[in-house]
Amino acid sequence: MASERLPSRSENYADWYNQLVIQSELADYAPVRGCMIVRPYGWALWENIQAALDLRFKATGHVNAAFPLLIPMSFLEREKEHVEGFSPELAVVTHGGGQELEEPLVVRPTSETIIGHMYAKWIKSYRDLPVLINQWASVVRWEMRTKLFLRTTEFYWQEGHTAHATAEEADAETLQMLHVYADFARNEAAVPVIPGRKSDTERFAGAVHSYSIEAMMGDTRALQAGTSHNLGQNFAKAFEIRYLDQENQLQYCWTTSWGLSTRFIGAIIMVHGDEKGLILPPRLAPYQVVIVPIFRNETEQKVVMEAIDRLQAELAGIRVKLDDRDGMTPGYKYNDWEMRGVPVRMEVGPRDVEKGTVALARRDRPGRDGKAFVPQAGIGETVRLLLEEIQQSLYDRAEAFMQENTHKPESYDAFKEVVQSGWADVWWCGEAACEAKIKEDTKATSRCIPLDQPDGEGVCIHCGKPARERALFARAY
């Protein structure tokens, strides 16, 4: 409910974000430190994200399954980099059914190990490959500094885990899923992203190559919004995932994993939101249209509600919320739904009914500019087109913002300046030492080496050594 005022987005972005998540009832803090409750409005948004992704996973041949939450501690230890990366973040079950356990179990921080163990059991021959499984689940990674959706001890995600006969297939899968994420981000969430390869420093613990999509938030900081990992044969060797090839030779599989989480909700909030609150992209919004009836007495109420009944029938297939709460003024409701980011508000009063019109107000253009009186006739089609227009307009605005704030500094001094309030797109040598120094100087890290690279080469923005690739550097969430 819009009972409190939001902190100013331009003056205090962090407070604006934290308060907005709570006030819009997307999520709340749990009694266990670092955990969150995803409230019904937030979960409805996540369900729409799930549906959009799941459709794409199934269209690319994947199936869903469910693997256990509890993993023997020894499993993690089988892949050296993996256990080093995850040890500090583990939640450990030491007692079960009133007894101390012989071997402690960890609550899954990610499932490569337990899935690897099962794949080793299931995969016997080349005929069993590829295995293309995804699961929707929550995972637990102990976090010291948490922020709702962006970094919580428990979070919700999907994790895809695939096994292939060849390195080429695993590579193609890794990139395919990166493109699936980019397509989802752009076309469903209206969030422009840059797909690219992570630096060695930023690589997933146990991967050969990690890829990500990176999005620019409203404060110009970067957010890693989805990742896809080529695991090579690292996990296949650690878990003995092998198959008999067509010549009856035993071969190790090549595996991948890829994930996108409720963190993405944070991206949607920060990419589109404004001083008034959330702006949800129509394709994912729990409610695409909110109808606010306006009347001063019972006679008017009757007339207005009858018209709304007819309008609702015309809006079939669109996610509509009728706000018929008693004891609240229309103005209060307008503010409430603006804060909660519903893309279109439909106002219906007695004069509208008389004239056969309704008022439609666009959330992405608050104020008079975004409000129009349209005929009730053909309202379904009118609203459908408007929702599409808003979806496109949100994307265009975010894309323009990302372009404006992505710079190509030619000197390290210029670099240091631009990354304080934007992204730097620069030639980079790719070395970890160089990256560490940049981070020390500026707090900016390499976000990714974009897949889309120019011809030619240059010199590293920091060390001046020859550089064959351009990288994006930015301060990140």
Binding site for its own copies (CB under 8 A): 28, 30-32, 35-40, 42-44, 46-47, 63-72, 75, 87-98, 104-105, 107, 114, 117-118, 121-122, 133, 138, 140, 142-144, 153-154, 156
In 195-329, where does DSSP find H-type helix? 234-239, 263-272, 298-314
Residue closest to 158 by CA, chosen among 62, 87, 89, 77: 62
> In angstroms, what is the minimal distance from the CB of 285 to its own copies?
15
Residue 327 or residue 456: which is nearer to its own copies going by CB?
Answer: 327
> In angstroms, what is the minimal distance from the CB of 287 to its own copies?
12
> In angstroms, what is the minimal distance from the CB of 69 to its own copies?
6
Residue 109 or residue 196: which is nearer to its own copies going by CB?
Answer: 109
Residue closest to 362 by CA, chosen among 349, 345, 381: 345
Tokens representing 40 are 């019904």
- H or E element, residue 86: helix 80-86
> In angstroms, what is the minimal distance from the CB of 398 to its own copies?
27
Residue closest to 262 by CA, chosen among 217, 309, 226: 226
Tokens representing 266 are 């944070």
Question: Which residue has 């709304």 as its token pair?
Answer: 308
Tokens representing 370 are 């975004």
Residue 47 or residue 404: which is nearer to its own copies going by CB?
Answer: 47
List residues bridging with 358 in a β-sheet: 374
> In angstroms, what is the minimal distance from the CB of 62 to its own copies?
9
> In angstroms, what is the minimal distance from the CB of 103 to its own copies?
9
Cβ-based neighbours of 299, under 8 Å, separated by 6 or more? none
Tokens representing 399 are 């894309």
> In angstroms, what is the minimal distance from the CB of 133 to its own copies?
6
Residue 142 or residue 252: which is nearer to its own copies going by CB?
Answer: 142
> In angstroms, what is the minimal distance from the CB of 294 to its own copies?
21
Local structure of 16: helix, strand or coil: helix
Residue 121 or residue 351: which is nearer to its own copies going by CB?
Answer: 121
| AA identity, residue 100 | E
Tokens representing 343 are 């893309």
Residue 47 or residue 457: which is nearer to its own copies going by CB?
Answer: 47
Rounded to whole angstroms, the Cα distance separating 190 from 264 reads: 12
Q: State the burial class of residue 377 (Cβ atoms within 10 Å of its Cβ: 0-12, 13-18, 19+).
A: exposed
Rounded to whole angstroms, the Cα distance separating 72 from 95 reads: 13
Residue 145 or residue 296: which is nearer to its own copies going by CB?
Answer: 145
> In angstroms, what is the minimal distance from the CB of 332 to its own copies?
14
Residue 97 or residue 367: which is nearer to its own copies going by CB?
Answer: 97
Residue 64 or residue 453: which is nearer to its own copies going by CB?
Answer: 64
Residue 43 or residue 423: which is nearer to its own copies going by CB?
Answer: 43
On the CB side of 290, how many CA atoms lie within 13 Å of its CA?
25
Tokens representing 101 are 């356990």
> In angstroms, what is the minimal distance from the CB of 160 to its own copies?
13
Cβ-based neighbours of 213, under 8 Å, separated by 6 or more? 178, 181, 182, 185, 193, 194, 195, 224, 225, 226
